């Protein structure tokens, strides 16, 4: 409906936030194992998404969709890295 209307618009599609990786790992834990697929995804910091949204919202409408997101990571590897970092800090 938005795209079909005559009203100027910008739709922003953002990737998952880095801040969600911990919760994803928690929900994927069975016993003492974290089971995550090697799926590719492109997380970015919530602050970066907010900055991009503000920049896009204060510029002229693009009458289309703006994709924001950095490099790709494998979900299982990113969670493993974050869990190892947390373990090291806990020592």
Could you report the per-residue pLDDT of 31-63, keeping only the tens digit for each?
Answer: 888 889 998 888 888 899 999 999 999 999 999
3-state class (DSSP) for residue 4: coil
d(CA 91, CA 75) in angstroms, rounded, equals 25
Let me know if 21 is exposed, middle or buried by CB neighbors in 10 A (0-12, 13-18, 19+). buried
pLDDT for position 21: 83
- SS3 assignment, position 1: coil
On average, the pLDDT of the chain sits at: 87
pLDDT at 57: 94
């Amino acid at each position: 409906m938005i795209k079909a209307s005559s009203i100027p618009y910008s739709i922003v599609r953002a990737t998952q936030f880095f801040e969600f990786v911990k919760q994803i790992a928690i929900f994927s834990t069975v016993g003492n194992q974290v089971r995550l697929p090697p799926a590719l995804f492109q997380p970015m910091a919530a602050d970066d998404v907010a900055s991009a949204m503000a920049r896009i919202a204060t510029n002229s409408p693009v009458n289309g969709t703006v994709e924001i997101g950095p490099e790709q990571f494998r979900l299982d590897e990113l969670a493993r890295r974050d869990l190892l970092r947390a373990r090291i800090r806990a020592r």
